[in-house]
Every structure is written in structure tokens, then in C-alpha cells.
Amino acid sequence: MSVDLNLINHVPVANRIVERHFSEFPVYLRKESIRAHRYKLHVQPGIEFNLSLTGTATYVIGDRIYRTAPGQLLVFPGCVPHQVFVDDNAAYRRAVICVDDATLRQGASPYPGLPSTLHWFDNDCCRQFQLQMNKFSAIKQIALLMHKERKEQKKGWQQMLLAQLLSLTVIVERMVEEQAVACTRAVPRYATRELADRCCSYIEAHLYEDLSLNNVAPVFHVSPEHLTRTFKREKGVAYYQYVLLQRIQESKRLLLAGDDTSLTDIAYALGFASSSHFSRTFRSVTNQTPSEFRLQSHSGTPC
């Protein structure tokens, strides 16, 4: 979608709602559906964790624009001007967790392990993660439990809520470390066949992540153009077609694993724009819909 410059060129406003909640407790929670709006950029203290649940949206954070889809997590400092924008005819659902990290770092938290799990946070940096399905499910569950504790406020709810927050920060801390290892690993320039082979291995190991050429090419210290030409020449199939085929294979594994995972969750986890897009692509490759494949596999008929 296009972002109205009039909305992002104004001086950002303070988010008084978050500030007021932080005066009572160092965690603010929100789970909501958003449609098109005319809100301007805003700022608030602390760290914001923003989990996309359904639909797509555009986030303006500082001087950068992020396009988000279900299964993606944004983590950024609240002091950086930000806002989410949604297409006129679209609906977008998200879970938001804002954390007053300054209070937690001062030792005011009754859960002392929290400050040590926030050491990775950079007050100038926005991080975007494409979550694997298990991490997406885990973080969704954490957000759900945090909302439940906050709403019911039973005895010890603060400790329970902070315990869930600790789980969230540890998950993110691990993902940050994984990203750092991937970025700092020295990778020499490869011969064309070895480059294509290693690229295949990388794709198969990172099916739940952003596999755009612009993201993958730097891993091998080559340009996107060089990678796509080499891949097609050595493998006889276009790079994006190979990614698509591997994701369809992975979706088959998930479909065979059980009925508790919805087609929508599988679609979003593997980077498809929607469940209908996933179903169309699956059928074009297998001549079956995902539902037909799942039903046939459970009936014992060879797929």
C-alpha cells in the first residue's frame, strides 16, 4: 500500500495510553484488529514487540518501511517514531507487547532474570523476524497467556505475566544470536556448482525465513543476479521455482503430521501471501488441494 506522507511528516505524538499503563506496571498488552486510519506517527517509552496474526500491513518505523504478514515479529524501540498502516479494504490483526525495559533494568522487576535477557536490544535498531511455525505458535501462546493474566488479575498475576515475558525475551534473544551467527560467518566465493549446491542446502534449512534473492545472495557474498544465473544454469530450474517446490514439500510434511495445524498457519509460516494462494500453488504442483492431500493421506491411499 502507499503511505500518506502527510501522516508521517508531522511531529510524532506521545502515546499517553502506554505511558499511563507503565506508571502502574512495566508491561502493556494489546490485541486488536486494525483497518485503514488517519493516525500519525507516535512514540512511547520502552520496547515494542509486534506480532502479525492475520492480514498484511505496512509499518513506518523511523526512516524505514516494513511490510508485514502473519508469522512475522517486529521488535523496535518505542522512542523511534512509528505507526502501522492498513489498506482501505483490508483487515489486519496483531498482538502488541510493550515493555518498560528501563524499569526492569533498574531491578524493580519481581522476576530478576528479565534484565539479562534484554542485553541484545539495540535502542536504535528495528528487528524483523520471519518466525518458523513452532516459534510463531509459541509466541502466540505467550501473548494469549499474558492477556489472560492481565485481564483476570488473579493472585500472583504480575509474576505469571513476567514469567511469560521472560520466555518471550529468551526466544527473541536466541533468534538474535542465530541472526548474528549467520551474518558473521565467513563464506568464501564458491565455484558455480558448489555455490548452487550450497544454496540448495541453505534454502532447505531456512524454508520458514525470507528467501528473497536480496536476503540470500549476501550469505554467499555474490550479487542476486549472479546467484540466480548460476542457480538456473547448474540446477536447470529457476531459483524461486526451487524455493517454491521445497516449500510445497515441507507443507506436505506438515499436512501429514496431523490435523491440528490449520492450512492458514501452514501457508503463513511458509511465506505464502494467504491460504488461498497456498492452495492454488499446492494444486498447481501436485494436482490436489492441500485438504485433498491431507484427507487422502489419512485414508491410507498413496499420495
pLDDT digits (tens, 9 = 90+) for 75-130: 999 999 999 988 777 789 999 999 998 888 776 555 566 766 777 777 667 888 98
Q: Is 192-299 a CATH 1.10.10.60 domain?
A: yes
Report DSSP letters for 68-115, one per residue: E-TTEEEEEETTS-EEEE--TT--EEEEEEEE-HHHHHTT--SSTTTG
Q: Which of 105-109, 141-145, 213-217 has the lowest mean pLDDT?
A: 105-109
Burial of 8 (0-12, 13-18, 19+ CB in 10 A): middle
Quote the pLDDT of residue 186: 44
Q: Greater confidence, 78 or 181? A: 78
Residues of the chain with CATH 2.60.120.280: 5-184
| Confidence class for position 140, pLDDT limits 50, 70, 90 | very high
Quote the pLDDT of residue 279: 92
CA atoms within 13 Å, Cβ hemisphere of 170: 10
Q: Which three cell numbers stand for residue 196?
A: 548452487
The C-alpha atoms of residue 163 and residue 174 are separated, in whole angstroms, by 17
Q: Is 5-184 a CATH 3.50.50.60 domain?
A: no
Contacts of 74 (CB under 8 A, 6+ apart): 48, 49, 50, 52, 59, 61, 66, 68, 126, 127, 128, 129
Q: Is a pLDDT exceeding 60 seen at residue 184? A: no
| Confidence class for position 150, pLDDT limits 50, 70, 90 | very high
Residues of the chain with CATH 1.10.10.60: 192-299
The C-alpha atoms of residue 272 and residue 290 are separated, in whole angstroms, by 13
Helices 239-257 and 192-205, packing angle to 10 deg: 30
